[in-house]
Amino acid sequence: MTVYAGQGDAHRSLALLWGAPAEPRTGRSGPKPGLSVDAIVSAGIAVADAEGMAALSMRAVGERLGRTAMALYTYVPGKAELLDLMHDRALAELPGELPLLEGWRAAVEAWAGQLYACYLRHPWALGISQARPVLGPAELATMESLLTALRPAELAPERLRGAVAALWQFVRGTAATTADARGAAAATGVADEDWWNARSARLAELAPDFPKRFPLLTALQSATGAAPEESSRDGFRTGLAVLLDGIAAGVSVQGGP
């Protein structure tokens, strides 16, 4: 019955994510709580949306609620747990309704588009490591939603898992790229294109042998009229198409409708 370090915190965090068991005002008590986990999470999201992840400090969240930073620790074990809660709350605003009648392809496209848009609305959420599985209700609901969309494809379990992983990572990755490009443009007051042009010119200056060192990159750049990194918006659409085709290949192998 060993209790491992950090496990207690993990349990506490899970409990917060799934809503406390609502213990009915245990025993006697002291002063009524003036805050709530929900209010703190909302304030955190407000700060992060407005000022960015870098400005999200416990002090800032507390201030927005008219409290000190330390007041938050009554409700939330620490900043990491607050971030987890904020992430799950952001995902919770996904509509969850997909055009299931138009086939799995349209449904998955809609799912990806919704998740992508949600991350662009809350770019800070991309800075929260989704690696350690947080397992919040909204995150699981989003996964369930994707599985629902993919159901008509009747993929084999292994294949289904691969598709889910690839789609999830792809959406997060492309959203991160777009979000940071936007952020950089906004921070410097330079339009995406101008910024890229300046950078590109400087690069040609520093590496005059660029076309010889990177011939395929150069060719792709001139063929599509933009650098691969810059065109993240298109990257989302075309990349998603590749993924969907890959899923479709699994369908045909597996058997028709």
Compute how many other C-beta atoms are within 10 angstroms of the C-beta atom of residue 24: 5
CA distance 89 to 73: 19
Contact partner, 132, from a second copy, DNA, none, Cβ < 5-8 Å per class: a second copy
Report 176-195 residues binding a second copy (CB under 8 A): 176-181, 184, 187-190
Compute how many other C-beta atoms are within 10 angstroms of the C-beta atom of residue 244: 19
133 part of the interface to a second copy, by CB under 8 A: yes
Binding mask 169-198 for DNA (x = CB under 7 A): ------------------------------
Contact partner, 1, from DNA, a second copy, none, Cβ < 5-8 Å per class: none
120 part of the interface to a second copy, by CB under 8 A: no
DSSP-assigned states of every residue in 95-125: -----GGG-HHHHHHHHHHHHHHHHHHSGGG
- CA torsion 57→58→62→67, rounded to 10°? -140
CA distance 89 to 203: 41
Report 13-52 residues binding a second copy (CB under 8 A): 14-15, 18, 21
CA distance 222 to 52: 35
55 part of the interface to DNA, by CB under 7 A: yes
256 part of the interface to a second copy, by CB under 8 A: no
Binding footprint of DNA on the chain (CB under 7 A):
26-35, 55-60, 62, 66-71, 73-75, 78-80
